[in-house]
């Protein structure tokens, strides 16, 4: 007679790291040295609309249009290869996002003032619209024109 403890458990073991990565509210994308996607969390799925299964194993530029920019892709490749201690990717990405949405990044050197360092201020327009908001507005305008 065998007890339940003797039976081999064949259920898949859930990866605790997967739960941790999916619990992060920020988008997280991992790439290998060839810039192929090896990690894609739930926040990235929500932000891009691309499912994790569809992103894994694909070149990062295929699923993240931002990386089609040659300069940004080259910086990322150097950072992944460990060639630079700080690749400046965060500010490059932030600038491209702000440019796409008519925002701006203001930089102020604080050296010599009561503080030290550099202050970065990101200015986002109040009328910022997501691509989905623009699509809906376009469809409403088009419907008004047709039914008008």
Q: What is the pLDDT of residue 123?
A: 78
Q: What is the pLDDT of residue 148?
A: 64
Which position has the higher pLDDT, 92 or 85? 92
Same domain, 108 and 145: yes
Q: What is the pLDDT of residue 10?
A: 61
Same domain, 89 and 117: no
Same domain, 93 and 53: yes
pLDDT digits (tens, 9 = 90+) for 42-79: 888 988 889 999 999 999 989 988 888 888 888 878 87
Residue 41: exposure state from Cβ atoms within 10 A (0-12, 13-18, ≥19) = buried
Neighbouring residues of 79: CB distance < 8 A, sequence distance ≥ 6: 87, 89
Number of domains making up the chain = 2
Domain that holds residue 126: 101-148
Angle at alpha carbon of residue 51, lines to 72 and 88, rounded to 5°? 20
Same domain, 76 and 29: yes
**Residue 46's CATH number:** 3.30.450.20
User: How crowded is the C-beta side of 46, counted as CA atoms within 13 Å?
Assistant: 10
Same domain, 96 and 24: yes
């Amino acid at each position: 007679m065998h007890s339940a403890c003797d039976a081999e458990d064949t259920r898949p073991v859930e990866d605790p790291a997967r739960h941790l990565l999916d619990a992060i509210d920020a988008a997280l994308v991992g790439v290998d040295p060839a810039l192929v996607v090896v990690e894609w969390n739930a926040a990235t799925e929500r932000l891009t609309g691309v499912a994790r299964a569809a992103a894994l194993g694909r070149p990062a530029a295929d699923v993240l249009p931002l990386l089609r920019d040659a300069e940004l892709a080259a910086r990322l490749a150097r950072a992944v290869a460990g060639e630079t201690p700080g690749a400046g990717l965060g500010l490059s990405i932030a600038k491209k996002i702000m440019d796409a949405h008519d925002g701006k990044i203001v930089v102020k050197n604080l050296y010599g003032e009561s503080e030290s360092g550099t202050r970065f201020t990101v200015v986002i327009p109040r009328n910022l619209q997501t691509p989905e908001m623009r699509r809906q507005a376009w469809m409403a305008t088009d419907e008004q024109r047709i039914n008008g």
